[in-house]
């Protein structure tokens, strides 16, 4: 790898500078990144003096993310190799990406890749085969939107949601917080020390630091915590990593934030019910629902996934359970009665995988049970009929979506060996094609090996797949033979639903 100096915009290494007067300037202390990831940008034609590039960098930096830029692929790989403990997001040009990403995509520190190019169709071909490539983009705005979603997920991922009691880190955090709240210091002096500390970091913009220095008392602590500046991510990272330097430097803000929340709680308590809520500790706010489907609750939803929500409402409890692709993810929330006021959750899923939960004050009186519809070929199946070869009856198939292609599926079957076949569907003509069947190489009894070979011959020549009455799958081959399979996946009736907007 190259040992040449990086063209990074954010300093990533310590340096001893010797001015002309001979005075030695000590290196800056080790930087503490106020974000939970590193962002690098690799482009051979990247020119920071170009006005378009300046605007692009500013748009990314507006997200509160520091950027390390490279024009040389070897330097970029060296930098990535040296940062094994950081989570890295990478923006890369299409021309460099198709050569660099296949070499490094398996590195655990590389979390997500965003390809930035002018010819989307060409680079989507190679990018589709690499799961860490989150998209091929032609505008910096679309990259910023994707980065914003991934950044929120990264913040939530630092601490998982736990249902098994209080962990020791939570206990330590509580004890530290109680100790910090007892410290009385001068706000003006503390703010000055804090902004001086921030200026030693290379990934906080001077505009944001000046805003805190000049306008801190113009806004409430909660405003600062929820504003799109570095205060929120820096404080969270300090507690997540138990970085005492950050925590002590932000003690004035922790104290103000704590007192503001106490005051709000006191004011709201005068008008609220005395009933208690059971809450689950974790990064993220359940009010937007996003944390239901990341980390402890599974990966982010994508097109084609099945999301199930079960609301159990009794005289004593209200509970919501979440299901993702037939797998139970657990309980989202639990409210004990009597309820403070009628709250009926309405959940909406957006195309980018974000979830929004709102509450309606009134519900419709009529109830209806939704019919369970399952017209997908996905699931577990068992051969019910194979007239040409009845000895294959009883064999089990499993079909699931292919992760790297739209309208593509993977079929698995087992007799002696595990058989694996990719199916492609053309929705326009409703035609199906099957690729060559892959198989392990285990030898078995002759009659079973014969049965297996019959299935291999059949699966290699599939031309049509149809779901009949939700429970029966019919697969036809080019030679006219046909297999009927029954669904083995259990499907239950959906819960009673209420149209609260009618």
* Residue 139 maps to a domain: yes
What is the DSSP code (8-state) at residue 419? Answer: E
Contact between 161 and 286 under an 8 Å Cβ cutoff? The reply is: no
* Residue 54 maps to a domain: yes
Peptide bond into 338 cis (omega under 30): yes
* Reported pTM: 0.36
For residue 64, the model assigns a pLDDT of 56
Q: Identify whether residues 218 and 327 lie together within a single domain.
A: no
Contact between 379 and 489 under an 8 Å Cβ cutoff? The reply is: yes
CATH code, domain carrying 400 = 2.40.128.270
For residue 164, the model assigns a pLDDT of 45
- DSSP E strands, 289-337: 307-313, 317-324, 327-336
Q: Cα(301)–Cα(295) distance, rounded to whole angstroms?
A: 12
Q: Identify whether residues 344 and 383 lie together within a single domain.
A: no
* Residue 197 maps to a domain: yes
Q: Identify whether residues 54 and 72 lie together within a single domain.
A: yes
For residue 283, the model assigns a pLDDT of 42
* Residue 88 maps to a domain: yes
Q: Identify whether residues 195 and 151 lie together within a single domain.
A: no
Q: Identify whether residues 209 and 113 lie together within a single domain.
A: no
For residue 17, the model assigns a pLDDT of 32
* Residue 368 maps to a domain: no
Q: Identify whether residues 152 and 174 lie together within a single domain.
A: no
* Residue 440 maps to a domain: yes
For residue 50, the model assigns a pLDDT of 80
Residues 6+ apart with CB under 8 A from 330: 163, 296, 297, 321, 322
Q: Identify whether residues 265 and 332 lie together within a single domain.
A: no
* Residue 367 maps to a domain: no
* Residue 226 maps to a domain: yes
For the beta sheet containing 277-278, the strands, ordered from the edge strand earlier in sequence to the opposite edge, are 277-278, 327-336, 317-324, 307-313
Q: Identify whether residues 42 and 153 lie together within a single domain.
A: yes
Q: Identify whether residues 190 and 146 lie together within a single domain.
A: no
For residue 92, the model assigns a pLDDT of 93
CATH code, domain carrying 146 = 3.40.50.2300
* Single residue among 247, 269, 291 that ends a domain in this structure: 269
List b or e across 100-115, with b for residues whose CB sees 16 or more CB atoms inside 10 angstroms.
bbeebeeeebbbbbbb
Q: Cα(196)–Cα(213) distance, rounded to whole angstroms?
A: 10
State the residue range of the domain holding 416.
379-487
Q: Identify whether residues 421 and 481 lie together within a single domain.
A: yes
The series of mean pLDDT values per 10 residues for the chain, 502 residues long, is: 41 33 36 65 84 80 73 90 84 90 88 89 85 87 82 58 50 72 79 89 81 90 83 80 82 88 75 51 39 45 69 74 69 63 47 48 41 68 88 88 81 85 87 83 81 88 85 88 82 44 38
Ranges of H-type helices in 385-467: 446-459
Q: Identify whether residues 337 and 412 lie together within a single domain.
A: no
Domain count, the chain: 4
* Single residue among 132, 157, 182 that ends a domain in this structure: 157
Q: Identify whether residues 244 and 198 lie together within a single domain.
A: yes
């Amino acid at each position: 790898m190259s040992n040449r100096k990086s063209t990074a915009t954010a300093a990533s290494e310590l340096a001893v500078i010797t001015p002309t007067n001979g005075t030695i300037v000590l290196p800056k202390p080790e930087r503490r990144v106020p974000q939970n990831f590193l962002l690098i940008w690799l482009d051979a034609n990247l020119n920071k003096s170009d006005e378009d590039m300046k605007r692009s960098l500013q748009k990314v930096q507006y997200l509160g993310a520091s950027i390390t830029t490279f024009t040389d692929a070897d330097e970029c790989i060296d930098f990535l190799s040296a940062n094994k403990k950081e989570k890295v997001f990478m923006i890369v040009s299409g021309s460099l990406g198709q050569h660099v990403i296949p070499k490094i995509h398996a590195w655990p520190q590389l979390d997500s890749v965003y390809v930035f190019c002018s010819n989307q169709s060409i680079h989507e071909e190679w990018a589709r085969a690499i799961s860490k490539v989150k998209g091929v983009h032609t505008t910096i705005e679309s990259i910023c939107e994707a980065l914003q979603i991934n950044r929120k997920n990264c913040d939530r991922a630092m601490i998982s949601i736990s249902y098994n009691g209080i962990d020791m880190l939570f206990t330590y955090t509580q004890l530290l917080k109680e100790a910090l709240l007892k410290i009385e210091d001068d706000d003006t002096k503390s703010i000055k020390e804090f902004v001086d500390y921030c200026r030693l970091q290379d990934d906080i913009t001077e505009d944001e630091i000046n805003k805190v220095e000049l306008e801190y008392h113009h806004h409430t602590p909660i405003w600062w915590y929820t504003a799109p500046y570095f205060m929120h991510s820096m404080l969270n990272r300090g507690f997540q990593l138990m970085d005492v330097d950050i925590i002590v430097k932000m003690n004035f803000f922790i104290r103000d934030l704590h007192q503001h929340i106490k005051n709000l709680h006191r004011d709201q308590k005068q008008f609220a019910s005395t009933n208690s809520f059971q809450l689950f500790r974790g990064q993220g706010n359940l009010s937007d629902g996003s944390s239901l489907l990341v980390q402890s609750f599974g990966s982010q939803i994508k097109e084609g996934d099945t999301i199930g929500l079960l609301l159990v409402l009794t005289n004593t409890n209200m509970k919501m359970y979440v299901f993702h692709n037939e797998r139970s993810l657990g309980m989202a929330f639990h409210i004990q009665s009597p309820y403070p006021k009628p709250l009926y959750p309405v959940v909406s899923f957006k195309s980018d995988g974000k979830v929004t939960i709102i509450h309606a004050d009134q519900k419709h009186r009529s109830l209806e049970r939704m019919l369970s519809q399952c017209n997908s070929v996905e699931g577990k199946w068992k051969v019910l009929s194979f007239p040409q070869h009845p000895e294959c009856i009883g064999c089990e198939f499993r079909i699931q979506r292919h992760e790297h292609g739209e309208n593509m599926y993977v079929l698995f079957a087992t007799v002696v060996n595990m058989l694996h076949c990719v199916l492609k569907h053309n929705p326009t003509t409703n035609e199906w094609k099957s690729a060559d069947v892959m198989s392990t190489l285990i030898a078995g009894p002759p009659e079973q090996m014969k049965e297996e070979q019959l299935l291999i011959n059949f699966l290699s020549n599939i031309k049509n797949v149809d779901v009949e009455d939700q429970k029966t799958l019919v697969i036809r081959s080019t030679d006219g033979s046909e297999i009927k399979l029954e669904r083995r996946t259990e499907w239950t009736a959906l819960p009673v639903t209420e149209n609260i907007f009618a």
